[in-house]
Structure 1
Amino acid sequence: MELRHLRYFIAIAEELSFTAAAARLGVSQPPLSTQIQDLEHELKTQLFVRNKRRVELTAAGVAFRRYALAILAQVDEAAEQAHAIGLGQIGTLDLATTGSVLLGPLAELIARFSTRVPEVMVRIQEMPPLEQEAALHARRIDISFLRGPIGVSDLATELAWPEKVGVVMPLSHALARSSEVALADLRNERFVFLRLKDSRFARYLRDCCVEAGFAPNISQQVVEAYSLLSLVAAGLGIALVPEAVKELSRPGVIYKALAEPAPVADVKMLYRPDHSAVVHRFLSEAREFFNDKRGQ
């Protein structure tokens, strides 16, 4: 038994005419009759009563019609689901990032994507940067949003959005009233820093200090950039932070942009080259979203 047998049967059951059913199906009547005969032979029962004046369903035909309709409905639903999955419209998407990245436009992107593609469940996981790279390789996540530099060559990488680096210091600091602060001006300061063992971005900031002529005197290290503000407010040092952190208010501290040339905190999207249709759909939406942002 094949699906065409069911479709031919349903057409005749609804039209109660082999001639009308053949016209509806776009086939000639003799092959249609042959297919129904084959179906009845396989089922070992008669589905239609035929004579020169009319076609009627037998009791077996009435019962078979109910099941045939249900089977064809399930086939159509399965086809629609498969098509939607192939277009990336159904599924689960696991994103990994850090709290400071979520201070930028990522949350807005996720909200827009969820509105446009509501059948995809987006799950956000916060984890340290190096753990995100490991999770990508292990296929525990689909896309990672990280600040550069990126140290893996087998993952696809593209810019999500550009961001600058600034310095957070107490309001009472001597440089707080300066119109411009250069990285080299901070050579004698005590720093609170992102944890170097967890973040290539933290190591990049340290290397930028070295290039500016000094090794930073680091008193404390934390995982998240926004935690640095509390340490600065407590007087434990100053901090180099992504620009997005300035959106967080904290009494007693001030954010100052660094003079050029200055470190950058650009956010990159990382993903496996052999990604799924859902990931492909999200990346397309992300590129459109970030292009719109850059055009504003």
Structure 2
Amino acid sequence: MLYNTLRQYEYLIAVAELRSLTEAARRLNVSQPSLSVAVTRIEERLGTRVFLRRKGAPVEITPQGHRLLGRIRELLLLAEGIERSSDSPPPFVLGCFEDLAPLQLAQALEHLRSRFPAVSFEGAEGRFSDLATALDEGRVDLAISYDVGFGARFERCVLKTILPVAFLAPEHPLARQETLTLQELAAHPLIFFSEELSEGFMTALFKAMRLSPTVGHRVRSLEMMRSLAAHGAGIGISYSSPPSSICYDGRRVTTVPISTTDAATEIALIWPRLRDTDPTFLEIVAALESSFG
């Protein structure tokens, strides 16, 4: 429970700056006896002697008081910042799934800035769970993502339906095929993303098809998946497919489309149902929907 108000903390700052209860009372527009009683009560609640007050002498600040006053100033600045931020709208934050971001986020932000010059836009990247939490907590306004792991508490605007791809070493026996099925892949060691939502989605997909794949590696990034696949450590499965066939370490990786229709998922604009969908927000959604490629 908070016992002291911001106004009471302002009392301490005024006394510290003016080194006089009388002058501080004049600035604060309160009586000097009331201010003196208030300061005493604040000190009692804090359990710290902030000032040394002697009749006819300037108020002195104790060492403990100096430390406390520094923290109080930080608190008051934070409170002022919160009130000032309500006067001007915060930037609109467009989130994007991490693997999609290099392909989609920069051009989406460029398009929005040209369409809505009066709105300030920022971008943010994240995995599925990161984006879901950021949307719930209001740190991201709208996200471009595969619709994986976002529950019924989110609204969606579908941009595109896609199938995953498989990453293989060029010498892998399946690398020469034009397309692959999940049934064919399940017979080989696979590389999954280690994020719980992503792996859970893939596991459920194989289970629904009554397949029991062997997961040889779990990775956190798309490039790690491609690199392991290029070195023959397994077959990576991803819904993101970079245009280059060269990995970071210079090895070549082969990308083969997966044709299993049950594996299709959607790229969507996603936002919380509890969000206030003002006209500008809906216009932004419409602008991204029309520009998506």
Q: TM-score range by the shorter chain?
A: 0.5 to 0.7
Q: Which amino acid aligns with 1:192?
A: I
Q: Which whole-Å deviations, capped at 9, do the CAs of 1:130-165 have from their partners, x for residues lacking one?
A: 121111111111112221234421221221222221
Does the 8 Å CA contact 1:184/1:213 hold for their aligned counterparts? no
| Inter-partner Cα distance in structure 2 for 1:202 and 1:258 | 17
- List, as ranges, runs of 4+ consecutive aligned residues in structure 1 with deviation greater than 6 Å: none
Higher mean alpha-carbon deviation, 178-187 vs 259-268, is at 259-268
Does the 8 Å CA contact 1:246/1:255 hold for their aligned counterparts? no
| Inter-partner Cα distance in structure 1 for 2:175 and 2:141 | 42
Match of 2:93 in 1: 94
Summarize the Cα distance change of 1:140–1:91 in structure 2 as closer, same or farther, 3 Å threshold: closer
Any idea what SS the aligned residue of 1:245 has? coil
Does the 8 Å CA contact 2:191/2:218 hold for their aligned counterparts? yes
Any idea what SS the aligned residue of 2:201 has? helix
Match of 1:261 in 2: 261
Count of aligned positions: 200
Q: Which whole-Å deviations, capped at 9, do the CAs of 1:181-210 have from their partners, x for residues lacking one?
A: 22101122111111142x2x4322222222
User: What displacement does 1:254 show?
Assistant: 0.5
Instruction: List aligned pairs for 1:24-173, cutoff 5 A.
Output: 92-173=91-172
Q: Which amino acid aligns with 1:229?
A: R
User: What displacement does 1:175 show?
Assistant: 0.7
Structure 2: gaps spanning 5 or more residues: 1-87
Q: Which whole-Å deviations, capped at 9, do the CAs of 1:195-229 have from their partners, x for residues lacking one?
A: 142x2x43222222223332221222223333311
Any idea what SS the aligned residue of 1:266 has? strand
Give aligned-pair identity as a percent. 14
Name the structure, 1 or 2, with higher relative contact order (CA <8 Å, separation 6+).
Answer: 1
User: What displacement does 1:276 show?
Assistant: 5.1
Q: Which whole-Å deviations, capped at 9, do the CAs of 1:56-85 have from their partners, x for residues lacking one?
A: xxxxxxxxxxxxxxxxxxxxxxxxxxxxx9
Summarize the Cα distance change of 1:153–1:211 in structure 2 as closer, same or farther, 3 Å threshold: closer
Any idea what SS the aligned residue of 1:96 has? strand
Structure 1: gaps spanning 5 or more residues: 1-84
Does the 8 Å CA contact 1:98/1:224 hold for their aligned counterparts? no
Does the 8 Å CA contact 2:160/2:268 hold for their aligned counterparts? yes
Q: Which whole-Å deviations, capped at 9, do the CAs of 1:107-133 have from their partners, x for residues lacking one?
A: 323211111222322211112211211
